[in-house]
A and B are shown apart, each in its own frame.
Chain A
Amino acid sequence: MGHLIEFRQVYKIYQMGDTAVHALDGVDITIDKGEFVAIVGQSGSGKSTAMNIIGCLDVPTRGQYFLGGTDVSTMDDDQQAVIRNKMLGFIFQQYNLIPKLNVLENVELPLLYAGVPERERRERARSALERVGLADKSKNLPSQLSGGQQQRVSIARALAGSPSVILADEPTGALDSRTGREVLHFLKQLNREGDTVVLITHDNSIAVMADRIIRLQDGKVIYDGDAHDPRAVVQPHLPGEDEEVGA
């Protein structure tokens, strides 16, 4: 069995008027089961595009993307939906809970779309909420919870479907630093329990929570290795962007 995630010469090219923008410019990445990887880069580096492709929300212009050994780079909308449902758990910066559904119903959603029968759905959603310590809030609406709690609900939602990969897109971006740290520790703990976590961030101080860092710049991988290697957090010097380093 090969890698869990494998990019083979992935290109994503957007046509902006006359110029072709290479959001991803021949990227090769492999991520194995049980890893905790941070994909780091500034805005425009291509990390959001990479996350969309890893998350099966988008397809590469060229190249291949294998998820769990299957080439998903040529799938259509509905086939991708099935892959997202079965293999991916998303954690978004803005939590992205549905406001008019209560916490339990939000967590149940991926199971609902997977066609899990009601009783089992309820049980699995409950146990996911227990894992994030919010079982007592299951009847609350998202708006009645704090930001940190909402983010934990969204983690529970990502866990509920027992995905192969947990994909966290700037999960701490909307949280204060203390709550943000809690969420990161939680992701770390999930990883220790065996889950594969891919974290997308622009923030080096968050990236170092991971075991491995993949740094993107201008659509190319410029570093891929141990998160604790000093080179992982050193960015090529660009004018006016020094303050980003080790922020």
Chain B
Amino acid sequence: MGIKQSFLLALKSLAVSKVRALLTMLGIIIGVAAVIVIISLGDGMQKMMNDQFESLGANLIQVSVWGSGSSRSVAPEDMYKLVADNPDYLRAVSPYVQVSGVSVRSTREAFTPGSILGVSEDYDSIRGMTLSQGRFLQYVDVLRQQKVCVVGSYVNKEYFDGQAVGQQLSIGGYTYIVVGVLSESAESRKGTDDDQIVLPYTNAMSLAGSRVSAYMFTGADKDTASVSRTIIEKRLEKIFGDDDYFMVITSAEMLDIMNTMMNTMMVVLVAIAAISLLVGGIGIMNIMLVSVSERTREIGIRKSLGAKRRDIRSQFIIEAGTTSAIGGVIGIGFGLLAANVAGTLISGLDGAEGFAAVPSLGAIALAFGVSVGVGVLFGYLPANKAAKLNPIDALRYD
């Protein structure tokens, strides 16, 4: 007996008892829909994170130094030299000093910005920043500790009515002149990159009363990030004589770490959803066992007409597989719908504008394959039971 006949026969017996078929499929439908939703949302989240990293600078290498407590420390000049010595792997560097706890006031009011950063004149290119007004910091500002700063678009709008360039800003009691406004990067909201003040790091060091504790490098390429990282690490190790006093993280590696975490999370979630598939499979097995005893006579008739064990077995396996495959298709439909709705809802949230649930073709194919597989797997036992029935007993069965 061909697969086509078995398949048509399976459809026929499903059509005869629609409610039962639907209930049988329910576990598979829910399981498959859950898997599709989870994978779609997970992929969407991963894509959003990758995009955000990309905008952060995919070649970014962050160095944190906390020092040994001794007099040994890293001077910004060492790092500049490192870049100059390794043009193939490192493009630029900027010290990175965060200033906190200092009072800030515009000519009108005191306020607390999201962050105050001390950096070098290369920081804008390292982070891919552009300006909407004025200019960025320059070498001479850093060298001479000029009291100039660049502000984010939120600061500009909120405290200077959009006319910050040329205005005065008091930071920690010193009067600074605003020389530039950064382009908007986060819809000018409070606490974001648009709510920051950028100064020469030399000024920031005096304000914060600390040495430079962090650097931002630009690597030459994403693919050579680990080489760039090794170069920096070697140098720092030489200074400190130990690798416990600093940490070097490349964006590429951080992205890897986050992706690994995301993947782990998704595997866990999918595994949970798979429990539903398992339950669905058991449901199919249950109904198939009922179906086998209901159709004992039919099995007897088929055997008396020359059906071999294999024929009977494949008939019931195909029936189980068809049931779960249809369940899988329905589940994929529901899953796509739910993922779409969830994606739309999530993209309406703050900070998730770029989010889109993207169900991959692979995920759909996998979900379908698994649902068919579950049917075949759990259909095997009842099918085998049917195949082994004794034709005489089966024919006499009422």
B13 touches A81 (CB 8 A): no
Q: Given A57-B392, A96-B395, A100-B16, A113–B307 Cβ distance below 8 Å?
A: yes
B305 touches A110 (CB 8 A): yes
B301 touches A113 (CB 8 A): no
Cβ contacts under 8 Å, A82 to chain B: 306, 308
* Contacts of A75-90 to chain B: CB distance below 8 A: 77-78, 81-82, 84-86, 90
Query: Separation in Å of the B385 CB from the closest CB of chain A?
Result: 14
Q: How far is the CA of A161 from the CA of B13 in the complex (A)?
A: 25
A52 touches B13 (CB 8 A): no
Q: How far is the CA of A77 from the CA of B394 in the complex (A)?
A: 14
* Residue with the greatest number of chain B CB neighbours at <10 A, chosen from A57, A81, A157: A81
Q: How far is the CA of A96 from the CA of B311 in the complex (A)?
A: 19
A113 touches B391 (CB 8 A): no
A55 touches B305 (CB 8 A): no
| Minimal Cβ-Cβ distance residue in A for B393 | A57
A113 touches B308 (CB 8 A): yes
Q: How far is the CA of A241 from the CA of B139 in the complex (A)?
A: 124
* Residue with the greatest number of chain A CB neighbours at <10 A, chosen from B298, B300, B310: B298
B391 touches A57 (CB 8 A): yes
Q: Is the interface of B mostly helix, strand, loop or mixed?
A: helix
Q: How far is the CA of A98 from the CA of B297 in the complex (A)?
A: 9
Interface size on A, residues (CB 8 A): 24
Cβ contacts under 8 Å, B301 to chain A: 96-98, 109
Query: Separation in Å of the B310 CB from the closest CB of chain A?
Result: 7
Contact of A81 (CB < 8 Å), options: B5, B16, B308, B395 = B308
Query: Separation in Å of the A165 CB from the closest CB of chain B?
Result: 13
A57 touches B307 (CB 8 A): no
Cβ contacts under 8 Å, B308 to chain A: 77-78, 81-82, 113
> Does A234 have its Cβ within 8 Å of any Cβ on chain B?
no
> Does B235 have its Cβ within 8 Å of any Cβ on chain A?
no
A90 touches B304 (CB 8 A): yes
Q: Given A100-B13, A100-B16, A113-B1, A58–B305 Cβ distance below 8 Å?
A: no
Q: How far is the CA of A79 from the CA of B13 in the complex (A)?
A: 29
Query: Separation in Å of the A68 CB from the closest CB of chain B?
Result: 15
Q: How far is the CA of A97 from the CA of B300 in the complex (A)?
A: 11
Cβ contacts under 8 Å, B306 to chain A: 81-82, 84-86, 110, 113-114, 161
Q: How far is the CA of A93 from the CA of B93 in the complex (A)?
A: 95
Contact of B304 (CB < 8 Å), options: A84, A86, A100, A112 = A84
A85 touches B309 (CB 8 A): no
> Does A92 have its Cβ within 8 Å of any Cβ on chain B?
yes
* Residue with the greatest number of chain A CB neighbours at <10 A, chosen from B298, B311, B391: B391
> Does B302 have its Cβ within 8 Å of any Cβ on chain A?
yes
Cβ contacts under 8 Å, B13 to chain A: 100
Interface string of A149-170 (1 = CB under 8 A from B): 0000000010001000000000
| Minimal Cβ-Cβ distance residue in B for A52 | B392
Cβ contacts under 8 Å, B20 to chain A: none
B395 touches A78 (CB 8 A): no
Query: Separation in Å of the B298 CB from the closest CB of chain A?
Result: 5
Cβ contacts under 8 Å, A97 to chain B: 301
Q: Given A82-B306, A82-B308, A113-B308, A58–B392 Cβ distance below 8 Å?
A: yes
* Contacts of B287-331 to chain A: CB distance below 8 A: 297-298, 300-311
Q: How far is the CA of A114 from the CA of B307 in the complex (A)?
A: 9
| Minimal Cβ-Cβ distance residue in A for B310 | A78
Cβ contacts under 8 Å, B298 to chain A: 98
> Does B190 have its Cβ within 8 Å of any Cβ on chain A?
no
Q: How far is the CA of A90 from the CA of B306 in the complex (A)?
A: 11
Q: How far is the CA of A100 from the CA of B10 in the complex (A)?
A: 11
Query: Separation in Å of the B173 CB from the closest CB of chain A?
Result: 91
> Does B234 have its Cβ within 8 Å of any Cβ on chain A?
no
Query: Separation in Å of the A119 CB from the closest CB of chain B?
Result: 13
Q: How far is the CA of A81 from the CA of B303 in the complex (A)?
A: 7
A112 touches B5 (CB 8 A): yes
Q: How far is the CA of A175 from the CA of B54 in the complex (A)?
A: 83
Q: How far is the CA of A68 from the CA of B303 in the complex (A)?
A: 21
Query: Separation in Å of the A171 CB from the closest CB of chain B?
Result: 14
| Minimal Cβ-Cβ distance residue in A for B306 | A85
B297 touches A113 (CB 8 A): no
A57 touches B1 (CB 8 A): no
Q: Given A100-B12, A100-B16, A113-B1, A90–B305 Cβ distance below 8 Å?
A: yes
* Contacts of A46-104 to chain B: CB distance below 8 A: 52, 55, 57-58, 77-78, 81-82, 84-86, 90, 92, 96-98, 100
Q: How far is the CA of A82 from the CA of B307 in the complex (A)?
A: 8
What are 21 A-B residue pairs whose CB atoms fall within 8 Å in the complex?
Answer: A57-B304, A57-B391, A57-B395, A77-B308, A77-B309, A78-B309, A81-B307, A81-B308, A82-B308, A92-B395, A96-B395, A98-B302, A100-B12, A109-B302, A110-B305, A112-B2, A113-B1, A113-B307, A113-B308, A113-B311, A161-B305
B-side residues, CB < 8 A to A, are 1-2, 5, 12-13, 16, 297-298, 300-311, 391-392, 395
Taking A85-B305, A96-B300 as given, write out 20 further A-B residue pairs in contact, using a Cβ cutoff of 8 Å, ordered by the A residue number: A57-B391, A57-B395, A77-B309, A78-B309, A82-B306, A84-B305, A84-B306, A86-B306, A90-B305, A96-B297, A96-B301, A97-B301, A98-B298, A100-B12, A110-B305, A110-B306, A112-B1, A113-B302, A113-B307, A157-B305
Among all A-B residue pairs, the 9 with the closest Cβ atoms:
A85-B306, A113-B306, A110-B305, A81-B308, A78-B308, A96-B301, A84-B306, A109-B305, A57-B391
A-side residues, CB < 8 A to B, are 52, 55, 57-58, 77-78, 81-82, 84-86, 90, 92, 96-98, 100, 109-110, 112-114, 157, 161
